Amino acid sequence: MTHRILILGGTTEARQLAGKLARRADSSVTLSLAGRTESPVAQGVPVRVGGFGGVDGLAAYLREEHVDLLIDATHPYAARISVNAAEAARQAGVPILALRRPGWEPVAGDRWTLADNAAEAAKALGEAPRRVFLAIGRQEAGAFEAAPQHRYLIRSVDPVEPKLAVPDALYLLARGPFPEADERALLEKHGIDAIVSKNSGGEATFGKITAARALGIEVVMIRRPTLPGVPSAETVDALAAMVDHLFDPVAERGV
């Protein structure tokens, strides 16, 4: 019997997990992308692109495509799709697992200011003009129009359109991973004195956090959204082991 696995992706780990699960002889894997990125990196497995149309659309897709397992491997800040996934899986009676990358923890030398969302982060920068590195992606960059007194360096995978209505913004198009040495050079070159970041976790975007620590730069860290409580693992290997357990419980017991 072939197990049909749908992975909700948009992250490096989702791609890695898809590659790993695709090697199972008894499974067929489809990776789902939202379609936000204009030229996503090759995923190596069959891909479908675009929203499902909310909970009902995703539940219908799970039924129509006879999906046996839904895996939520989306970014920790993609809360809506994670909530939708949990509810659609419940409605369709399909098991769901989630890959939840742990967040970073501050250590000695970090200067973090926590904010609940992008609007709060813009306020947390304060009144006095600063040189701000905005590294939260393009979707919420618009919130910083509320703080036009700062100079911004804005990095994203795809262009920020429309450009922000602030007098001083420089746009940088780049896709991670971003090593610490490069981040440090970037911060120094632009005289950055505050970074706005999501607590994404993982290695690929951690370089700016350690570079900020080394240079004594403040990081305004946007808190993670609350995600639904579904069975989850923190790493690709641990999630793959959960899939083994689900599909091969007998083999696992060595019977």
- Under the criterion CB under 6 A, does residue 58 sit at the interface with ligand NAP? yes
- Helix/strand/coil percent split, the chain, to 5: 35, 20, 45
Chain Cα centroid distance, residue 106: 19
Query: How many Å is the Cα radius of gyration of the chain?
Result: 20
With binding defined as CB under 6 A, does residue 10 bind ligand NAP?
A: yes
> DSSP class of residue 61?
H
Total residues contacting ligand NAP by CB under 6 A comes to 24
Question: Going residue by residue from 188 to 207, which x/- string records binding to ligand NAP, judged by CB under 6 A?
Answer: ----------x---------
Q: Are 44 and 15 in contact (CB under 8 A)?
A: yes
- Minimum CB separation of residue 97 from ligand NAP in Å reads 15
HSE (side-chain half, CA atoms, 13 Å) at 221:
21
The contact pattern for ligand NAP, residues 11-50, with x = CB under 6 A and - = no contact, is x--------------------xxx-x--------------
Using CA atoms, how far apart are residues 78 and 106, in angstroms rounded to an integer?
Answer: 22
Residues 65 to 84: which contact ligand NAP by CB under 6 A? 74-75, 77-81, 84
Q: Which is nearer to ligand NAP, 86 or 193 (CB)?
A: 86
HSE (CB half, 13 Å, CA atoms) of 250? 1
Any idea which residue has 């995978």 for tokens?
A: 157
DSSP state, residue 176: S
Closest to ligand NAP by CB, 34 vs 166, is 34
x/- mask, ligand NAP, residues 208-247, rule CB under 6 A, reads ----------------------------------------
Residues that bind ligand NAP (CB under 6 A): 8-11, 32-34, 36, 51-54, 57-58, 74-75, 77-81, 84, 137, 198
